[in-house]
Structure 1
Amino acid sequence: MARKVMFITGGTRGIGAATARLAAARGWDLALTYRSQAARAEETAAACRAAGARVLLLPGDAAKEADILAAYDATQREFGRIDAVVNNAGITGGKILLADTTEADWRGVFDPNVIGLALSCREAVRRMSTKRGGAGGVIVNVSSRASELGSGGEWIHYAASKGAVDSLTIGLSREVAQEGMRVNAVNPGLIDTEIHAASGQPDRVGRLAPGVPMGRAGRAEEVAECILFLASDAASYVTGACLPVGGGR
């Protein structure tokens, strides 16, 4: 049987890279988008190829429509199909109080996290919906527990963007439920990746981990397991779900 194809935005670092490696080990071929750090992207691709996957690396900006379209088109040319889309690309923005934010702060987070993700979902539906000539498929959006917790005092603009992702996930799941498509989200909590340092808080994991009911931060691989479940036939009756992956937080 032909290997299925998974398209992952922001697929070469953190949760995206962990998802790519796990998917490769479980029989998926991969299209991985990334914005920068080409060496890291090549490292992730090499690990996935070693696990038996064909891998297409696609540099581009997840907030730009032209780059999103180019990545989808290149994936279809390379593989002839897309079976699952994981919308992982996004940023937190810096730690800031709402009263101190600027318009640029909000646009900087909402453009990739909401607009770019919505455009990626649009392209996935256009290509996979049975109503539009596709063979069906799955979308898994990477949201955050911040969508419910609010992230007051840290990155409230990021939390608001993830609330939008949850709403989009639920609404789109209902739009395409009879078109051979399922749409779900994972909502990671405190996960030990480089995203904290990138936001200017390198001590964040150590500072907040004691407050997690399970007493520790999560690993990117634990989120990847949930993504692969939602993308698999084992979740064939699951759509419109926003799955908390937060150790009880």
Structure 2
Amino acid sequence: MQNQAEAPGRAVIVTGGSRGIGAAIACRLAAAGYAPCVTYTRDARGAAEVVARIEASGGRAAALQADSTCGADIARLFDAAEAAFGPLHALVNNAGITGPLGRFADLDEAEMRRVAEVNLLGTMLCAREALRRFAMRPERPGRSVVNISSVAASTGSPGEYVHYAATKAAVEAFTLGLAREVAEQGIRVNAVAPGTVETGIHAAAGDPGRPARIAPRVPMRRVGQPEEVAEAVLWLVSDAASYTTGAVLRVTGGL
């Protein structure tokens, strides 16, 4: 396990970090000595609570408002993160939405566009800005991007949210291509693909009972916890994964 001495205040931006998997990632990174910048779009209270939890445990963190689909917001976000904690060490592209559950033929065009913008365009815009920041300090070791995908990229999620699954499959293709493009620069790009995890995203999609319904289909016979996904992200961000790039680490209970 990584301790604070191994990651002395390295700045990490965690998009969508005010709740669920993002909050767990921020807390786990802080416990390992990183300085997470938790981003949020509207949930200022949730982000502040995550920061307070980290600071109460002796860590450092900041809550920063930003829309990951807006280029101007992203530049401002990265400026604020580096002003708070110094040069960027890593980016965790966690912000994502499912949109409503249901058959694809019934999906509203505006919902389709929003899911694609947040899950794919937002991921790409934030990664582009991270690469630009990394290029300013080519001598710094350990620079990396971790994108959060989903088991849906492999299953397709028929009858539920194939539009979401499509964006996550695109995130995995983006991860592989970008990893190969920047490998010679010493920058690593990886992804974590969670299975069904016990978070509020299911209620937001209109189906709070989904985790209990999915659990019997999982080989481990349970859904995951946000903290289990956070451990995978921590490893990919850390120096322990120094020879790992272009990988998609599936945290799915065998699904």
TM-score, shorter chain, exceeding 0.5: yes
Counterpart of 1:193, as a letter, is: T
Q: 2:9 touches 2:85 (CA, 8 Å); kept in 1?
A: no
Count of matched residue positions in the alignment of Structure 1 and Structure 2: 248
Query: Is residue 107 from structure 1 mapped to residue 109 from structure 2 by the alignment?
Result: no
Query: What percentage of residue pairs aligned between the two structures are identical?
Result: 49
Query: Is residue 46 from structure 1 mapped to residue 45 from structure 2 by the alignment?
Result: no
Moved more, 194-203 or 59-68: 59-68
Which of 33, 48, 55 pairs up with 2:39?
33
Q: 1:127 touches 1:133 (CA, 8 Å); kept in 2?
A: no
Question: What does residue 245 of structure 1 align with?
Answer: 251
Query: Is residue 135 from structure 1 mapped to residue 140 from structure 2 by the alignment?
Result: yes
Query: Is residue 73 from structure 1 mapped to residue 85 from structure 2 by the alignment?
Result: no
Q: Which digits, 9 at most, give the CA deviation of each residue in 1:166-200, with x for residues without a partner?
A: 00000000011011210000000010001000000
Which of 189, 193, 198 pairs up with 1:192?
198
User: Structure 1: how far apart are the matches of 2:88 and 2:58?
Assistant: 18
Which of 210, 215, 226 pairs up with 2:216?
210
Q: Which digits, 9 at most, give the CA deviation of each residue in 1:32-59, with x for residues without a partner?
A: 1001222211110011112222222111
Residue segments in structure 2 that go unaligned for 5+ positions in a row: none
Q: Which digits, 9 at most, give the CA deviation of each residue in 1:50-88, with x for residues without a partner?
A: 222222211122222221111011112222211011000
Q: RMSD in angstroms over aligned alpha carbons?
A: 1.4
Moved more, 162-171 or 37-46: 37-46
Query: Is residue 179 from structure 1 mapped to residue 179 from structure 2 by the alignment?
Result: no
Counterpart of 1:123, as a letter, is: E
Secondary structure in 1 matching 2:74: helix
Secondary structure in 2 matching 1:243: strand
- Structure 1 residue 11: Cα displacement: 1.1
Counterpart of 2:125, as a letter, is: L
Secondary structure in 2 matching 1:177: helix
User: Structure 2: how far apart are the matches of 1:27 and 1:211?
Assistant: 37
Counterpart of 1:54, as a letter, is: R
Q: 2:198 touches 2:224 (CA, 8 Å); kept in 1?
A: yes
Question: What does residue 166 of structure 2 align with?
Answer: 160
User: Structure 2: how far apart are the matches of 1:28 and 1:47?
Assistant: 14
Secondary structure in 1 matching 2:83: helix
